[in-house]
Structure 1
């Protein structure tokens, strides 16, 4: 058993974790830290997912780090380019030296007496114990080990191949095959145009439609801005411009849902073959009740126009040896079925948490300022926006963590936590989407309240302003260690 102490433990070496490490080095230069990563590579989501066409569904000028300009010509970037970008950042800023690969965090226990976290990881068949004054969870909110697949009747009778996109086989041969993709979210609309040219035919089987909108794969203004301004300033200008468009459209959709619906459906109809049944593209919910799906340069619509892809709206009666029987009576032939049926959302990284010997039930926690939790000392969980690029929110969270750590030092405190009583008034889910992957686990996730600082606003501009002027003492409880911390072995 090995034990070491650092000032901060960061969990996860994806976009959030690398960004957090940079901010810690920049704003808390005297602090020691370790970055624990369960896998053997940097990149998180962008290293895990390897299905055809994997790409960002947000523009890279907002998804990239604010401190490292995105210079690739693609605004909607391929997964491999994003993975290389994160990898490059880890080396460029000396972060890789702090990463401990193969460390899967399974338990974290806080002691108020010692004012430190004891973090237990499995490394192969070994157990590693480390301690830290602050614990920052940057591992996202879905399981890397399991995706979500419904219990389909008759699945065991299917003689073809079933693949979940989260675990795409590198040697999968789909050329000339009949392929059915179950699902209508971002993964499905990415897979279909990426595979369409090689398969015999590909069908998107959806239980209900999703709003789909087209964006250009390249930002035509970004190169011009880079020619006129220094690289760092150009990146900030383009980032703000694109964030304004994304958040502005979100607010428009929430304020004028019927008008937004008409605009989105009209845009889709113009790109589809004449006579297309628009029921396949008309969701039952309002825009941004669930995430919009982005198709760069209209590639999905192009595949449909060419007859290589089609969309069927129906429910599954059962799998058969040769495909899928639908409740309408139709049968879909399939050699390969791709279950693009969603992520398995998890709370707090599936880590067993204790505070002063008391096991923590995540659902009893209230989120504070979008990153901390009631009664959890010196702890934060990095969760990005649902309506804009993940990194916009992640970077604000990391800067807040750094400010809080410096504030503890300046005031002579060893720890701080949001009021253990949490929010007053009616509680609401921490993620404000009606998507199935969220509603399935609503009773497992932390909650948010109805008033500040216990709410999450999906608005980067307001959050950016507030984070700069936020009261670090607001509804916080501070304390000091009462016994000397044990010396690490």
Structure 2
């Protein structure tokens, strides 16, 4: 029997285990599955933890969630096809769940699937190597509860650790002299610390947009968003403004100077400058090296490591879609491992990747966020067409319209787009409007959200 190592039990790892469990439920003989998880619970980034820096065992804190985070995209574009939100909560809910609601949802499917027996918690992976002679991987791990380091052999390795845990921190002159609160968004835990403060948010990604909006919602005095290339361009409230890129922090430790000469004093700087793809536990030759792209090169169908097709990477793309993107990838990986999908030659895999890369670059050149969403939808359609995943290509096509409406809603009202609802492509039912608008809803608990 084959043995498969899955590294990480966040949404991607849970999808991979669910894919194998789905095949087992239909009568197939599946490989032996072992999932190594460095946290004490599954859920990955969706686990809120007050800690920053190091965890209780001295491991780098993986999750970067903060209180009162809400989904910034409609749940109808991430709903798991074999486990709709209505099944989990017993009724339709609104389209922009809070972090606790989403965490409860993904963990609910995992518990129902009965896959906890496959997971070894508090067990970070230290090194993965491959023996050509044995055609086996050696996976070295550290059981932190017993403080024991040991190794086991596997036939396949699935890297499902995600790529939102290693902060990217660019250099700005004088930043080390700043006398206020300075942090990367990965270490943000509660925006209430910025009440009545002048806050600088560096970045124009979704995290910058969300952190800035949260600061406004919870009472920051002013919010300034510093962009590198182009402003986000939404109709921000009066105390929010966008300025060109930060150039330096002046000698007084408070004044920030931006391109074009604008200056302002700040109490806090939050760096929403993205994350790095970093997999130090993978031996050279197995390790993915890429920027945050919709099509990382070297991965056939976005998941198969072309240099060694027994290695798979899940969720390595820049993402508009999330949970069911991971499902689509996981079902494909499962079928490759189980021999249901036969891989082409190395040359053909590389040619396939180059073809998608050309389309990706043309899509990026448009600077049109809707075109980027549709690019990723087309990729998911190609994956699900090759497996028995319940969400079919026509279903994915329907979510493209959701992406367009989402963008229009944000353009119309950046502080109110989360009040809109969408129709589920899984159940066909509309989401239920919240009683309290997002801007005045301060309780993010499951009980409050689904009441």
TM-score under structure 2 length normalisation: 0.66
1:201 aligns with 2:222: yes
Gaps of 5+ in 2: 48-62, 87-91, 291-296, 365-374, 390-451
1:131 to 146, 149, 153: 153
Residue 153 (structure 1) shift: 0.8
1:189 aligns with 2:209: yes
1:388-467 mapped onto 2 (5 Å cutoff): 388-407=320-339, 419-420=345-346, 423=350, 427=354, 432=360, 458-467=378-387
Tell me: CA distance 1:418–1:434, structure 2 relative to 1, closer, same or farther (3 Å): same
CA distance in 1 between counterparts of 2:377 and 2:283 reads 26
1:67 aligns with 2:82: yes
Q: 2:438 maps to which residue? A: none
Residue 76 (structure 1) shift: 2.3
Tell me: CA distance 1:166–1:382, structure 2 relative to 1, closer, same or farther (3 Å): same
Q: 1:312 maps to which residue? A: 243
Contact 2:178 2:253 survives alignment (8 Å): yes
Q: 2:38 maps to which residue? A: 38
Q: Which has the larger radius of gyration?
A: 1
Q: 2:176 maps to which residue? A: 156
Q: Which has the higher strand share?
A: 1
- 1:6-61 deviations in whole A, cap 9, x for unaligned? 72211111111111111111214543211111222322222223235533333212
Residue 335 (structure 1) shift: 0.8
1:23 to 10, 19, 23: 19
Contact 1:61 1:75 survives alignment (8 Å): yes
1:48-447 mapped onto 2 (5 Å cutoff): 48-51=63-66, 53-71=68-86, 73-124=93-144, 126-142=148-164, 144=165, 146-169=166-189, 173-197=193-217, 198-209=219-230, 281=233, 301=235, 304-305=236-237, 307-319=238-250, 320-346=252-278, 349-353=279-283, 359-360=285-286, 362=288, 366-383=298-315, 386=318, 388-407=320-339, 419-420=345-346, 423=350, 427=354, 432=360
Secondary structure of 1:109's counterpart equals: strand
Residue 367 (structure 1) shift: 2.2
Contact 1:182 1:341 survives alignment (8 Å): yes
Residue 467 (structure 1) shift: 4.7
CA distance in 2 between counterparts of 1:128 and 1:210 reads 50
Tell me: CA distance 1:62–1:456, structure 2 relative to 1, closer, same or farther (3 Å): closer
Tell me: CA distance 1:88–1:419, structure 2 relative to 1, closer, same or farther (3 Å): same
CA distance in 2 between counterparts of 1:459 and 1:360 reads 24
The number of residues matched between the two structures is 343
Residue 100 (structure 1) shift: 1.3
Tell me: CA distance 1:465–1:426, structure 2 relative to 1, closer, same or farther (3 Å): closer
Residue 429 (structure 1) shift: 9.3
Secondary structure of 1:395's counterpart equals: helix
Residue 420 (structure 1) shift: 4.7
CA distance in 2 between counterparts of 1:425 and 1:402 reads 20
TM-score under structure 1 length normalisation: 0.62
Secondary structure of 1:317's counterpart equals: strand
Tell me: CA distance 1:387–1:133, structure 2 relative to 1, closer, same or farther (3 Å): closer
Residue 172 (structure 1) shift: 6.5
